[in-house]
Amino acid sequence: MNDRLWLVAGLLICVVCPGRARAQDEKPDVPAAESRLRPAAPQPVPPAELEESLGRGVDYLVTHQNRDGSWGSPALKGGVPIIAGIGSHHAYQVAVTAMSVAALIESGSTSTAVLDAIEKGEKHLMEQLPRVRRDDPMLIYNVWTHAYGIQALVRMHARLPNDEPRRQRIRELIQGQYEKLTRYESVEGGWGYYDFDSGTQRPAASSTSFVNAAVLIALHESAQIGVAPPEKVVRRAVQMTKKERLPDGSYMYGYYLHRVPTHPVNQPGGSLGRSQACSLSLRLWGDKDMTDEVLETWLDRLISRNGWLSMGRKKPVPHESFYAVAGYFFYFGHYYAGLCIDQLPAPRQEFYKHHLARLIIDLQEADGSWFDYPFYDYHKAYGTAFAVMTLNACRAKPQWHLAPAQEPLQPPKN
């Protein structure tokens, strides 16, 4: 893969177990150095403090919505202007809008201002999601839009359960996103967001682990409301994500790095922001190796080694930090960590909820936002959306839950 990936990589967004789980009565091998990664007991975060922080984030989103109902813009507000055409910016804005709508719904707020913002955002999504496409032969950032678009649509579907015509329209929009994900699926299976070498109609983009994870989790959610995703596409994405998983539980950034598995970004420190999402996506689609212990191992690592991930936060050049970490790994990783916590048995959740809530609350900006990577004028909206949804996952009773894992995918029929 062309080395330009490290110079231009980025979207608005973009842990590892010590080996695949063995039989249930055995524990995976844990090197002595790794056994010390269990975090100390957290300082409890009072519910009032969590709600106050979450509310400030919601207020930021409400007061920074564009007049047309969207969030973000191509205006350069610091950072490095990564390569992006008009179509890319359209995809960015619709993706950030989807994330912001999802966050406002998950907040559970019933204030008039929040409900008005949700309505305006939903209207924008319904108009613009069907129009999002690949920018040019090289740039396929729209795959992110389809993933977060589906997640927003699922939450919209649940919000007004008595409006059946609206729900039917939402289901049709989800089917449209499936068509786009099938059209832009990599020839390898899964999805990438650059096709540097071929620019073919069917993208030759390298399958990228954390894109696969985000899409697979969104597809799991939409399947729960009765909109079945294309099984072949799901199966291929699962297979590629499994191939990208290394023996120590880290995940390659993309499959193009399979010949250099010890590249820093593939090592545990580089995978700190990907392993939660990747392991969760495999679990949700029936991989029995993705046990509670796997999820807890990577929650422990995210908390204990948070400094490694945080050193990349707000750095303007993608992958310039240690382990080739990019800033946009940060809130992405913490959001999916929150979803991992929600999969654990209830008695084991509180420990991680307090740790994760403290990490997020302490990084809130003075204006109520969060951001991890200066990215045109999208970064505060997507960072805040991720943070609000992460704090929702840290509530004693979250407003939104992931459904339990699917049954394992069956081998294809001849």
Residues 6+ apart with CB under 8 A from 66: 72, 73
Confidence of residue 211 (pLDDT cuts 50, 70, 90): very high
Confidence of residue 400 (pLDDT cuts 50, 70, 90): very high
Q: What whole-number distance in Å separates Cα of residue 167 and Cα of residue 154?
A: 9
- pTM: predicted TM-score of the whole model, two decimal places: 0.91
> In sequence order, what DSSP letters do the residues of 130-183 get, joined into one string?
GG----SSSB-THHHHHHHHHHHHHHHHHHSTT-HHHHHHHHHHHHHHHHHHHH
**Cβ atoms of 16 and 250 closer than 8 Å:** yes
Token pair recorded at residue 365:
């900006």
User: Does position 232 have pLDDT exceeding 70, yes or no?
Assistant: yes
Q: What whole-number distance in Å separates Cα of residue 401 and Cα of residue 284?
A: 13
Determine the pLDDT at residue 412.
57
Determine the pLDDT at residue 31.
44
Give the range among 212-216, 364-368, 407-411 with minimum mean pLDDT: 407-411
Mean pLDDT in residue range 158-169: 97
How many contiguous H segments (helices) and E segments (strands) does the chain have? 14, 0
Residues 6+ apart with CB under 8 A from 127: none
Q: For 5-394, which CATH class? A: mainly alpha
pLDDT digits (tens, 9 = 90+) for 349-389: 999 999 999 999 999 999 999 999 999 999 999 999 999 99
Report DSSP state, residue 318.
T
Q: What whole-number distance in Å separates Cα of residue 379 and Cα of residue 374?
A: 6
Determine the pLDDT at residue 78.
87
| Run of H or E including 19 | none
Q: What whole-number distance in Å separates Cα of residue 101 and Cα of residue 117?
A: 8
Q: What whole-number distance in Å separates Cα of residue 308 and Cα of residue 323?
A: 8
Token pair recorded at residue 226:
């009765």
Average pLDDT, the chain: 91
Determine the pLDDT at residue 21.
32
DSSP H helices, 245-378, are: 275-284, 292-304, 306-310, 330-341, 349-361
Instruction: State the number of CA atoms in the 13 A half-sphere of 101 facing the CB.
Output: 32
Token pair recorded at residue 214:
């985000």
Mean pLDDT in residue range 103-117: 98
